[in-house]
Amino acid sequence: ILVKPARENADVVVAAVADRDESHARAFAAKHGIARAHDSYDALIADPDLDAVYIVLPNSLHGRWTRAALAAGKHVLCEKPFTANAAEAREIAELAAKSDRVVMEALQYRYHPLTSRVEQIIASGELGRLQRVEVAVCVMLPKRSNSNIYDYSLAGGALMTDGSYTVDMLRTFGGSTPEVVSARAKLGGPEVDRAMTAELRFAGGHTGRLHCALWSSNLFWASAKVVGDRGRLRYLSPAAPHLLPRLTIRSADGKRVERFPRRTSYAYQLEAFAAAVLRGEPVKTTPE
């Protein structure tokens, strides 16, 4: 998800990769034409030729290796969720604020033009006063699996993985952090959810709903809807808008459909990260 966008970006070179199993690192490097393969994450962040690191480890390790990378003077692009809990998130936010390094959470959907357009429409007032925001993100994984995603000790589960998108979308489109009114989980193990549904309420009086699932028989549940008192908008595949880049808006002006590039969200995200590192441009997904 990073190698191909990097090839299309003149500002970025993927110069090294690391894995606990050096043979895996070497195989990945050979496959993708990467110059160096390290046999540990410590060796990678100590590499003096690297300006930045991309952390795509199990969720429970994100905070640890973001701290280590910052201590080594690297810029950090870290996969969502940024950390495994709120206390760790506050710690990373403080470290990032004290450093002169870019620390960016890889919520790639935020950098796609479709998402930016949704934010613009809401801010314009075209939909009127917000009434409800609904977001669903569903993927097709086995109901039972030995994957890290179903491992509580690695901060797995539906809400901690793809559910990160739903929480961020509700905060972004809803305009604030909502309170939870009710929540219902389907378990994929003793301590891990394979699906989560929650009803929420915002300070402004509007409501929200999130649904996330690691297994769903209906991928078209993956959608985002914003309803106001003068209009509404809806689109599919909100966590990966490049897959179905079409937005439907209904308002006092009638119904219209807006279309967007199929260029991957990961390419836009990498552009934003590089611009922040090289030119000091702001990013949308900071530790705060």
Q: What is the CATH number of the domain that holds 189?
A: 3.30.360.10
Evaluate whether residue 59 is within a structural domain.
Answer: yes
Structure tokens at 288: 């705060």
Q: What is the CATH number of the domain that holds 80?
A: 3.40.50.720
Average pLDDT over residues 93-109: 94
pLDDT in tens, 254-270: 999 999 999 999 999 99
Are residue 274 and residue 250 in the same domain, yes or no?
no
Evaluate whether residue 60 is within a structural domain.
Answer: yes
As a whole number of angstroms, the distance between CA 202 and CA 158 comes to: 23
CA–centroid distance for 269 within its chain: 10
Are residue 63 and residue 93 in the same domain, yes or no?
yes
Are residue 54 and residue 181 in the same domain, yes or no?
no
Q: Is the N-terminal amide bond of 81 cis, ω within 30° of 0?
A: yes
Are residue 208 and residue 182 in the same domain, yes or no?
yes
Average pLDDT over residues 101-128: 98
Query: In terms of pLDDT, which residue wins out, 257 or 150?
Result: 257
CB atoms inside a 10 Å sphere around CB 89: 18
Are residue 102 and residue 181 in the same domain, yes or no?
no
Are residue 64 and residue 162 in the same domain, yes or no?
no
Q: What is the pLDDT at residue 235?
A: 97
Average pLDDT over residues 131-150: 81
pLDDT in tens, 60-82: 999 999 999 999 999 999 999 99
Count structural domains, the chain. Answer: 2
Query: In terms of pLDDT, which residue wins out, 161 or 133?
Result: 133
Contact 151, 58 (CB under 8 A): yes
Are residue 151 and residue 72 in the same domain, yes or no?
no
Are residue 241 and residue 273 in the same domain, yes or no?
no
Residues 39, 45, 50: CA angle, nearest 5 degrees? 110
**Residue 235, domain extent:** 113-259
Give the least confident one: 99-103, 139-143, 277-281: 139-143
Are residue 32 and residue 132 in the same domain, yes or no?
no
pLDDT in tens, 166-214: 999 999 999 999 999 999 999 877 789 999 999 999 999 999 999 999 8
Instruction: Give the amino acid at 267.
Output: A
**From residue 194, how far is each of 44, 122, 133, 143, 273 by CA, in Å?**
33, 31, 22, 8, 31
Strand 246-251 relative to strand 231-236, pairing = antiparallel
Are residue 163 and residue 212 in the same domain, yes or no?
yes
Are residue 122 and residue 208 in the same domain, yes or no?
yes
